[in-house]
A and B are shown apart, each in its own frame.
Chain A
């Protein structure tokens, strides 16, 4: 079945530094990728939608200059948290969608990245 590989699974960084999270579709072409953020015991909040080769569409309230999303190829999307602060600590999870939406009915999720900013 479809697999989305998300790395790293855990990262601890110092306040003020930037962190990059990668999301790769291993056996299909992901025309669209979604990035979610999840706080402890909370729901998944959509941050942005990215389509290959174009700028990401951010949800209301998400700072696009802070959360940089790049979807340069059909198998790779990256989320960079710039100048990270402790309040950016969270669980980030990506979801890849293939062109026809046939795999897992259109959504395959990565295993998530737990970011801790100290």
Chain B
């Protein structure tokens, strides 16, 4: 079975704080892909990153960074120096090598207060 778990339902931080959103996944596939999406209040899904299972290199993009640990089946997302505009629901998702459908985690609602 494939599953994505985002244990943090809601996180509230004050602007300029760093915040890490956790994502743990389960899959029996040897090849798979992991994604992070941002969903602002307007509802659309904004693509943030994709990671292949065979590439464990961490990635940094501006204030965003991702830590992929295959040994613990985790793909955590860190926002450095958070801003109010970062307030949104963030989803971690898993795509198996078969079928192509995305399995989403429960989402973490991040609230950044000024």
Instruction: Enumerate chain A interface residues (CB-CB to B < 8 A).
Output: 32, 34, 41-46, 49, 91, 93, 95, 97, 101, 104-107, 109-112, 114
Interface size on B, residues (CB 8 A): 21
Q: Mask for B73-114, Cβ within 8 A of A = 1, else 0?
A: 000000000000000000100010001111111110100000
Residue of B35, B42, B91, B104 ringed by the most chain A CB atoms within 10 A:
B104
Residue of A42, A43, A114 ringed by the most chain B CB atoms within 10 A:
A43
Q: How far is the CA of A71 from the CA of B101 in the complex (A)?
A: 16
| Known contacts A105-B33, A105-B50: A46-B102 contact under CB 8 Å | yes
Contact of A32 among B33, B35, B47, B100 (CB under 8 A): B100
Q: Which residues of B contact A109 (CB under 8 A)?
A: 37, 44-45, 47
Q: Which residues of A contact B62 (CB under 8 A)?
A: none
Q: Which residue of B lies closest to A31 (CB)?
A: B100
Q: Which residues of A contact B100 (CB under 8 A)?
A: 32, 49, 97, 101, 106
The answer to whether B42 and A111 have CB atoms under 8 Å apart is: yes
Sample of 16 A–B contacts (CB below 8 Å): A32-B100, A41-B107, A43-B106, A44-B45, A44-B91, A46-B103, A49-B99, A97-B100, A105-B33, A105-B35, A105-B47, A106-B95, A107-B35, A107-B47, A107-B102, A111-B44
